[in-house]
Amino acid sequence: MPQAETFRVEGYREFMRACARAEPDTKRYVRQAFRQVGDAVRADASSLFAPYDARSAARFRTYITQNGVAVGQSLRKTTGKRGDYGALQMRKALLPALHRQRHATEQAFEHAIDQIADRFESGG
């Protein structure tokens, strides 16, 4: 089982605040670049959870917030009869996917930051 559930990037929140004050096109570009970072974990989590519930696995989404990049369930609760279903998703899919994709996610995040910096420096 993975030791850490997240990895932290210093200055992320301040960077996102600065992007929020920038032009809408810049903010959109940054969010799109960060969404690609979380998509590897999302795809892996979907494949891990598909044997349990394919419908639920297909509805994992990557969310970009002021505080970070997150992968979570977008499907609404249907019955409420299974109180541990969210924990099951975390144990069987989301945390193992993050653990397996940790190195690739870190590299993708660094690549996204480089792309964003190149765009800012080029003025585009």
pLDDT tens digits for range 81-116: 777 888 888 899 999 998 898 898 889 989 988 888
Q: Which stretches does DSSP call E strand in the chain?
A: 60-64, 69-73
Residue 72 within a domain: yes
- Are residues 71 and 60 in contact, defined by beta-carbon separation less than 8 angstroms? yes
In a domain, 124, yes or no: no
Is residue 3 domain-resident?
A: no
In a domain, 41, yes or no: yes
Whole-model pTM? 0.77
- Residue 97 is predicted with a pLDDT of 92
In a domain, 84, yes or no: yes
Question: Residue 40: CB partners within 8 Å, gap ≥ 6?
Answer: 101, 104, 105, 108
| DSSP classification of residue 9 | -
Beta carbons of 93 and 75 less than 8 angstroms apart:
no
- What's the domain count of the chain? 1
Range of the structural domain that residue 57 is part of: 12-113
Tell whether 7 is covered by a domain. no
Inside any domain, residue 4 = no
Amino acid at 43: A
